[in-house]
Amino acid sequence: MLAFFPLRRSTRDRHPSTCFSADEYVLLTDGGEPECNAEAMEDEQKREWVEAMQDEMNSLYENHTFELVKLPKGKRTLKNKWVYKLKTEEHTSRPRYKARLVVKGVQSKKSLDLEQMDVKTTFLHGVLDKEIYMEQPKGFQVKGKEDYVCKLQKSLYGLKQAPRQWYKKFESVMGEQGYRKTTSDHCVFFQRFGDDDFIILLLYVDDMLIVGKNADRILQLKKELSKSFSMKDLGPAKQILGIRITRDRASKKLHMSQEQYIERVLCRFNMANAKVVSSPLTPNFKLTDKDYPSSEKDVEEMDCVPYASAVGSLMYAMVCTRPDIAHAVGVVSRFLSNPGKKHWEPVKWILRYMRGTSKLGLSFGDGEPMLVGYTDSVMAGNKDNMKSTSRYLMTFAGELCHGNLDCKSVLICLLQKLSIWQQ
């Protein structure tokens, strides 16, 4: 007979860090932009940020996102904030300034052509099915109607309903064009036009990659999408989700790296000038549960250490372009619930390793279409419960194609392989 025991929860009091916020991860959108309206108004590029905010407001008005009304009795308004983003584009040294009005929703965050598009006002295309009111954006209150509120007619960034409403709208438009979503990832749409003619579209919030053999078909899809959404054609894909894509058609090579992202991670955790080490981790780190904080003083000191933030930031690099740190990140992830001083040392070690290898990435090139797998394990490597750790890695045509990559990165790589075979 099986016996089930309740999960044990720590009884230790939790105190929020006074040095780092709970969401102090190095995000994809972290590029040194202002974090609030006050900072934007004091920034050297104040004029550009004001123009970006005005462009956003124009989009809201044109899209009939809200109407000004008196707040009905018994209703309350949601607050909002401005989110700023600098976007770099190919063939120009001048960045593009973007500002988004975000609802504080927590009260309600021929080879193949590889093209990239950006939806200017992603979540504004979803139609709301609930009555929601929002305060007027700071700096854009309508004169004579300062006591009015915005009754939302379309979804807005920050609303809990916004992502779903946006996806339903996009899925509907793609369906009208004859595209189907894959069963493994509902953000990947495809359509076949023949045995060797197809288009695959990958969607990630407001960024999308379009892959196909026929440039005219891709252009037609872009035109159809632009009829339904406000789009910006970014041309051949160069950077997406913090991943830099470099493609050399002549040598049939594709390279993906996160050098800029890694540099931001090192700066965020004050490791930009740390001494470089040559390996992700060493056998000298023998971590156990016994290294948890044992006194109130230790607990208070660790509350000021951004352990979870650093590990989370490393995880993103790991799953996208840096499988070499997978084991090391896996080890330090075991202690996220209650890290101690000894657990923090290997995290800094991994960051030191990243400093010396920030330029490393994934390269994909020509090779024989052969699938090869590797696996290894450490028997009873966990000193607390004597559990074993195993890892595997798959290569196709001599290059890494599966292991710790997410499905979208894998798809990019496999599509490049297809382009090589079909040349």
pLDDT tens profile 353-388: 999 999 998 887 766 667 778 777 776 666 666 677
Whether 423 has a pLDDT exceeding 80, the answer reads no
- Residue that wins the pLDDT comparison between 172 and 22: 172
Name the residue type at position 314: L
Mean pLDDT of 61-85: 86
Q: In whole angstroms, what is the distance from residue 132 CA to residue 79 CA? A: 11
Question: Which pLDDT value is given to residue 6?
Answer: 47
DSSP string, 201-213: EEEETTEEEEEES
The secondary structure of residue 25, as a DSSP letter, is S
Please classify residue 162 by burial: count the beta carbons closer than 10 Å to its beta carbon, then call 0-12 exposed, 13-18 middle and 19+ buried.
Answer: buried
Name the residue type at position 188: V
Q: How confident is the model at residue 239 (pLDDT cuts 50, 70, 90)?
A: confident
> What residue spans define the domains of the chain?
37-240, 259-421
Question: Which pLDDT value is given to residue 259?
Answer: 92
* 77-78, strands of its sheet edge to edge: 66-69, 149-152, 133-134, 77-78
Whether 203 has a pLDDT exceeding 50, the answer reads yes
Pairing of strands 133-134, 77-78: parallel
Tokens of 77: 């308004």
Grouping H, G, I as helix, E, B as strand and the rest as coil, residue 283 is coil
Average pLDDT, whole number, for the chain? Answer: 78
Question: Which pLDDT value is given to residue 273?
Answer: 92
- Residue that wins the pLDDT comparison between 184 and 306: 306
* Rounded to 5°, angle at Cα 52 from 47 and 57: 125
Q: How confident is the model at residue 125 (pLDDT cuts 50, 70, 90)?
A: low
Question: Which pLDDT value is given to residue 189?
Answer: 93
Please classify residue 419 by burial: count the beta carbons closer than 10 Å to its beta carbon, then call 0-12 exposed, 13-18 middle and 19+ buried.
Answer: buried
Share above pLDDT 90 across residues of the chain, in percent, rounded to a whole number: 17
Question: Which pLDDT value is given to residue 18?
Answer: 42
Grouping H, G, I as helix, E, B as strand and the rest as coil, residue 382 is coil
CB 365 within 8 A of CB 417: no
DSSP string, 125-162: GSBP-S--EEPPPTT-PPTT-TT-EEEESB--TT-TTH
The secondary structure of residue 14, as a DSSP letter, is P
Tokens of 311: 């590990």
CB 244 within 8 A of CB 238: yes
CB 179 within 8 A of CB 218: no
- Residue that wins the pLDDT comparison between 23 and 139: 139
Q: How many CB atoms lie within 10 A of CB 134?
A: 22
Q: How confident is the model at residue 272 (pLDDT cuts 50, 70, 90)?
A: very high
Name the residue type at position 235: G
Q: Mean pLDDT lowest for which of 173-177, 269-273, 402-406?
A: 402-406
Grouping H, G, I as helix, E, B as strand and the rest as coil, residue 372 is strand
